[in-house]
C-alpha cells in the first residue's frame, strides 16, 4: 500500500475540529511564489498549482524512467498547501481584499528527494510537457510551534475558526507570531472543483510564541 502522509502524520494533516498546539518540524517542499486574487481563473495562483503538480508527479513517476531516486518508495502525493500574507496585516486577513494576497503554494516532498532529484524533475517536466517549470523552487521550511484547527466550510468563513484558534492560544499562554517569515498556513484536504463549499476541509495553522 502506498505511503500516505495524511494517514501517517495525522497530527499535521488531520487535526480535530477544535484548536490544538503543534510543533511542526523542518520539511522540504516544492514551492511557487506569487500574488493576486486566488480566484482569478488566469491568475498567478491557479498557474502555480499546475506547475507544482507537474513537478510533483514527475518525481512520483520517476521509477518508470531512467532516473532512479535513491530510497524511493511508493507514496501518495501530499495535499496542496498555501502560505499566505497581506502587506501590513499580521493577525487576520481582509477576506474582501483578495487582490492584495501574496502566497507561497507548496506540496511537501518525500525526505528521500534531494536537490539534485528536484533539478532533474524540473528539467524533465519542462522537456516532456514543453512548458517552463523554472518558477518551482526546492524550499526547506521549519514552521515551529503553531496553533491549528480543522476548518469545515467556505474559505471565506475561516475568520470564525481563526478566532477560536486565537482564543485558545491566549488561554494557553501564547501569542500570535505572524511575521514576514512566519505566515498564515492552509492545507487543502478537499478539491473545491469537486466539493460543495460547505463541505470543504482545510487545516488552518498560525505560528505562535510564548507570551
Q: What is the DSSP string of 16-70?
A: -SS-EEEEEEEEEEEEEEEES-TT-TTSHHHHHHHHHHHHHHHHHTGGGSS-PPT
Per-residue model confidence as pLDDT tens digits over 168-209: 999 999 999 999 999 999 999 998 888 899 999 999 999 999
CA distance 71 to 134: 25
Is residue 90 pLDDT above 90, yes or no?
Answer: no
Domain limits, the chain: 5-210
Stretch 93-103: mean pLDDT: 87
- Which is the CATH superfamily of the domain at 5-210? Regulatory factor, effector binding domain (3.20.80.10)
Q: What pLDDT is recorded for position 124?
A: 98
Say what the pTM is.
0.95
Per-residue model confidence as pLDDT tens digits over 1-58: 899 999 999 999 999 999 999 999 999 999 999 999 999 999 999 999 999 999 999 9
Q: What pLDDT is recorded for position 172?
A: 98
Q: What is the DSSP string of 92-130?
A: ---TT-GGGEEEEEEEEPPTT--HHHHHHHHHHHHHHHT
Is residue 72 pLDDT above 80, yes or no?
Answer: yes
CA distance 112 to 114: 6
CA distance 144 to 148: 12
Q: What pLDDT is recorded for position 92?
A: 65
Lowest mean pLDDT among 89-98, 109-118, 158-167: 89-98
Q: What pLDDT is recorded for position 96?
A: 81
Q: What pLDDT is recorded for position 94?
A: 78
Per-residue model confidence as pLDDT tens digits over 143-176: 999 999 999 999 999 999 999 999 999 999 999 9
CA distance 59 to 56: 5
Give φ, ψ of 25 to 5 degrees: -75, 175
Amino acid at each position: 500500500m502506498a505511503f500516505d502522509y495524511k494517514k501517517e502524520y495525522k497530527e499535521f494533516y488531520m487535526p480535530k475540529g477544535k484548536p490544538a498546539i503543534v510543533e511542526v518540524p523542518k520539511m522540504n517542499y516544492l514551492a511557487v511564489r506569487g500574488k493576486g486574487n486566488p480566484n482569478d481563473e488566469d491568475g498567478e495562483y491557479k498557474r502555480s498549482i499546475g506547475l507544482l503538480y507537474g513537478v510533483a508527479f514527475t518525481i512520483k513517476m520517476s521509477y518508470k524512467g531512467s532516473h532512479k531516486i535513491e530510497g524511493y518508495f511508493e507514496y501518495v502525493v501530499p495535499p496542496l498547501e498555501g502560505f499566505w500574507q497581506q502587506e501590513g496585516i499580521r493577525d487576520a486577513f481582509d477576506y474582501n481584499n483578495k487582490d492584495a494576497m501574496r502566497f507561497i503554494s507548496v506540496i511537501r516532498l518525500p525526505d528521500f528527494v534531494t536537490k539534485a532529484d528536484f533539478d532533474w524533475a524540473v528539467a524533465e517536466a519542462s522537456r516532456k510537457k514543453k512548458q517552463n517549470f523554472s518558477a518551482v523552487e526546492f524550499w526547506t521550511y521549519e514552521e515551529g510551534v503553531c496553533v491549528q484547527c480543522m476548518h469545515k466550510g467556505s474559505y471565506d468563513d475561516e475568520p470564525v475558526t481563526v478566532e477560536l484558534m486565537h482564543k485558545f492560544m491566549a488561554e494557553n499562554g501564547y501569542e500570535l507570531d505572524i511575521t514576514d517569515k512566519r505566515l498564515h498556513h492552509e492545507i487543502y484536504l478537499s478539491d473545491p472543483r469537486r466539493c460543495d463549499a460547505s463541505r470543504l476541509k482545510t487545516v488552518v495553522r498560525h505560528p505562535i510564541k510564548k507570551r
